[in-house]
Amino acid sequence: MKILNTLSLLSLAVIGSKAMKNISSKELVKDLTIGWSLGNTLDATCFETLDYNKNPIASETCWGNVKTTQELYYKLSDLGFNTFRIPTTWSGHFGDAPDYKINDQWMKRVREIVDYALNTGGYAILNIHHETWNHAFQKNLDSAKKILVAIWKQIAAEFADYDEHLIFEGMNEPRKVGDANEWNGGDYEGWSFVNEMNDLFVKTIRATGGNNALRHLMIPTYAACVMDNAVNNFKFPSGDDKVIVSLHSYSPYNFALNNGAGAISNFNDGSEIDWVMNIINSNFISKGIPVIIGEFGAMNRNNEDDRERWAEYYIKKATSLGIPCVIWDNGYFEGEGERFGLINRSTLQVVYPKLVNGLIKGLGNSIKTRTTVRKTTTTASQSQPTNDNSCFSVNLGYSCCNGCEVVYTDSDGKWGVENGNWCGIKSSCNSASRSCWSERLGYPCCQSTSSVVYTDNDGKWGVENGNWCGIY
């Protein structure tokens, strides 16, 4: 044990060439439960304050979020998330025409984070985000097409051997930035631009070979919005059953997104959510066209009880139609901006456990019982909640947690989530001081994880915050 270091433990298993399941996107989305977005991270841009040539990967943290870790994704997976959107801005990280060569260090870092997500056994969605070259004006179309083809050819080549757990999303909210029609559903110019770019994206990926011939792809409406005019003028490709419509909906607007006049903090009316789901159903779901709501959320207004009710209502409606949803988390919790933070990425503390509770409750029986597989260069083990009778939850039909992290408290007791299922926190977790065999070897006891990543003659080992710890 002592000759191993943290880096060797955390180094990820290389995802080699894997057989791609030849299933339709309509079938694929059935396996997606609830999703989480790594917002304001790889999509951050600091062109005026950073020297991208000197440090090509510094932009990951330039909007205030910390460097992304594998443990963050393991934590999210344990909470029940199995779909991970990775918004990524490529501008500033590629060279000049005609090759538009992506910086090798940036591509490597993007791949590392994609692997973090996939190592949970879940799904990753990789896109292009916050670009300026694809604003939906006719005058931009020719140059935008050249850049889109060049960038996506390189991304597709990098991930050609990845299986169906990696999804590509062609564009994020393509629209006429700064125009009067930017957020009102678009006009003919904008619709035509988006349709042509979507068509080119699909053809580009399909032509790159490897598993990309069967890659599941997401394409947006104008601005990824659900307004009638954007939806009615959207062209969905025929003859390809591995394409998904990408939509965003922060609804109800005044509760979820509005940060100005008219904003409200109480959720008492789900009619706007109902309207959104009816539009999606009538235009796509009822016609056999799969949809992922790639962004949704409700910002913090010191109203977690209302957000819990909102989350359950929203997810219940979407789940009834077979629509997976990916919540937006930009890592911001306070201040005057868009406060969509959910989990503290430094401490891995769930800042708003009731909101997570609402998301999970909204899924109902659709959330799948999963074992958590930790991929490392040494060994991978599985962990599941135990049916130990030493906690209150057994009498309520729930297992006891292996770990001690509390994500929700009610009149029954303290609750955690492991492998996507609720479990009760054992009374032993309340002990002020706990000890285990690893302490005599100079390593702490694991406090919140029960996931075994290595076993030797001393016992079972886990990792917390990049450090070895002993499993009780």
Is 131 an annotated catalytic residue?
A: no
95-102 long-range Cβ contacts below 8 angstroms, 24+ apart: 97/146, 98/146, 98/150, 99/150, 100/146, 100/147, 100/150, 100/151, 101/154, 102/151, 102/154, 102/155
Nearest CA to 151 out of 118, 173, 126, 175 is that of 126
Instruction: Determine the Cα–Cα distance for residues 118 and 130; give it in Å rounded to an integer.
Output: 24
Q: Which tokens belong to 358?
A: 């609402």
Which segments within 238-315 are labelled E, that is strand? 243-248, 291-296
Residue 427: Cβ within 10 Å count: 13
Residue pointed to by tokens 């934590």: 75
Question: Distance (Å, rounded) from C-alpha 443 to C-alpha 204?
Answer: 51
Q: Is the dihedral of CA 192, 193, 194, 197 positive or negative?
A: positive
Among 112, 39, 119, 29, residue whose Cα is nearest residue 78? 119
**Chain centroid to CA 256: how far?**
19
- The DSSP secondary-structure symbol of 365 reads G
Q: Which of 60, 71, 131, 173 is catalytic?
A: 173
Q: Which residues pair with 461 in a beta bridge?
A: 454, 470
Our answer to whether residue 439 is catalytic in this structure is no
Is residue 315 a contact partner of residue 323, using CB atoms and an 8 Å limit? no
What burial class does residue 134 get, using C-beta atoms within 10 Å of its C-beta: 0-12 exposed, 13-18 middle, 19+ buried? buried
Whole-angstrom Cα distance, residue 251 to residue 296? 8
295, 308, 405, 464: the active-site residue = 295
* Helix, strand, coil percent values for the chain (each to nearest 5): 35, 15, 50
Active site residue ranges: 173, 295
